[in-house]
Amino acid sequence: MCLTPGTFPLFYRKKWYVYYFCMEIDPNIATDIVTHLKDALRHEINFFNTSGIIIASTDPTRIGSGHDGARLAIASKQTVCVDDEHRFAGARNGINVPVQFDGEPVAVIGITGERDEVEPFGTVLQKMTEILIREHLDQLARFNRRTMRDSLITALAYGSGNVADNERLAAMLGIDLDLPCMIASIRGVDPHDLLTYQERIVSALDRQVEDRPDVLATLTPQECLLVIVGSDDETAESTIRATESLISSFTGHATHCGVGGRASTMHDCRRSYDQAVAALRWGITAHASPRPASDERDNASPRTRIASTELQHCDDENTSLSTFTRYEDLDLGLIVPVIPPEQAQALTRLVFGGLDDGVIDAYEITFDAYTRHNGSISAAAKELFLHKNTMQNHLNRIAAITGYNPRNLNDHTILALAFLLRRHNSRCLR
């Protein structure tokens, strides 16, 4: 098996890694190494595989050629010098130093030049190459660990894969799947945010959870998934909110977050994930502002503009506030999402008939303010920067147009449910 990203199995033993590979270094890694070495030593550098073939060189014309001196260095595990008195087929003057990893030769590094000039570089050349190889292997180890972690998280959350694969990945990562956990789903207000800033967010997430064995995090184009293992609720919420802030710091936009209930073991993560998504969607419904944007009002019908003209002072920022919703806190959110769309549409048609969307949005602002202030017309009017009489006129207009009077308790219930169903069906994430 060749040592290339994602193709060699990786096992963890305490803090060290055991790699299984055929003692071959990837040419891309070799190219990086010879470039770094030439910058430091100012001589042409060649990188040989264990067959004595040059796979990377600062002299491109030599790539692919064989070298008996390098083969001898591999076989003997000793530095081989080439000069006018010691010639090898395919070789130029210089030295060829075997590079070892865990006691086994994995390559030969050669430096071209007169023997007296380059021989003092032998030990330095060997050590620098071994350090660079180890750095690359550490990068590959991190890459593979991240890949396995991402695969495990998505498999547990989405219910993909099988139990045996999940248990194998968990064992390689040192994760106990029998511990309780909860899942949080974080999504951007702008659906393109996570993909746009993916690389930067992933790096920051890795740093954030590096010393947190109780937190697993991964990023997909649609969402950030957090698996909080065994932590108390306060610690879990602090971690999730910190991650929301981290994402917003890169995107410049708000986020929506849903937190599922606690699963008894990580094998049951799927249920917690489904709850997190349900909470996230309900949080958007419950916190979304019904007010149409200014450009929508400008392009609306005359009837819509009349209905909304006195509501234009409503806060624009409401449309971009972050939401944080726990499944365990849901009330109507447990019921409204499971109402069949056909029945929801039937109720909204009954209440609103053929009204323009802009008209309904405008009246929903009035109705929501009136509801928030427990029927206080003065308080609702003050919030919306309206005169008390204007607020009363708006409530009267709702009653006249829909046939349901907000001041009547039974009618208010019907109106509240109709507005809620309409908002949920049009604004929740799909």
pLDDT score for 247 = 95
Query: What's the CA gap between 120 and 35, in Å, rounded?
Result: 20
pLDDT score for 13 = 31
What's domain 178-287+320-331's superfamily in CATH? Reverse transcriptase/Diguanylate cyclase domain (3.30.70.270)
Cβ neighbours for 427, distance < 8 A, ≥ 6 positions apart: 284, 285, 288
Query: What's the CA gap between 145 and 335, in Å, rounded?
Result: 41
Query: What's the CA gap between 294 and 311, in Å, rounded?
Result: 11
The Cα angle at residue 312 between residues 307 and 316, in degrees rounded to 5 = 130
Is the domain 27-127 a CATH 3.30.450.40 member?
A: yes
Count of CB atoms within 10 A of residue 14's CB?
6
The residues spanned by each domain of the chain are: 27-127, 178-287+320-331, 339-429
pLDDT score for 324 = 94
Torsion angle in degrees (nearest 10) through CA of 295, 297, 299, 302: -170
Is the domain 339-429 a CATH 1.10.10.2840 member?
A: yes
pLDDT score for 162 = 84
Low-confidence ranges of the chain (pLDDT < 50): 1-23, 291-319, 428-430
pLDDT score for 265 = 93
pLDDT score for 24 = 66
Q: How many helices (H) and strands (E) does the chain have?
A: 16, 12
Q: Which two tokens stand for residue 416?
A: 């509240």
Query: What's the CA gap between 217 and 51, in Å, rounded?
Result: 42
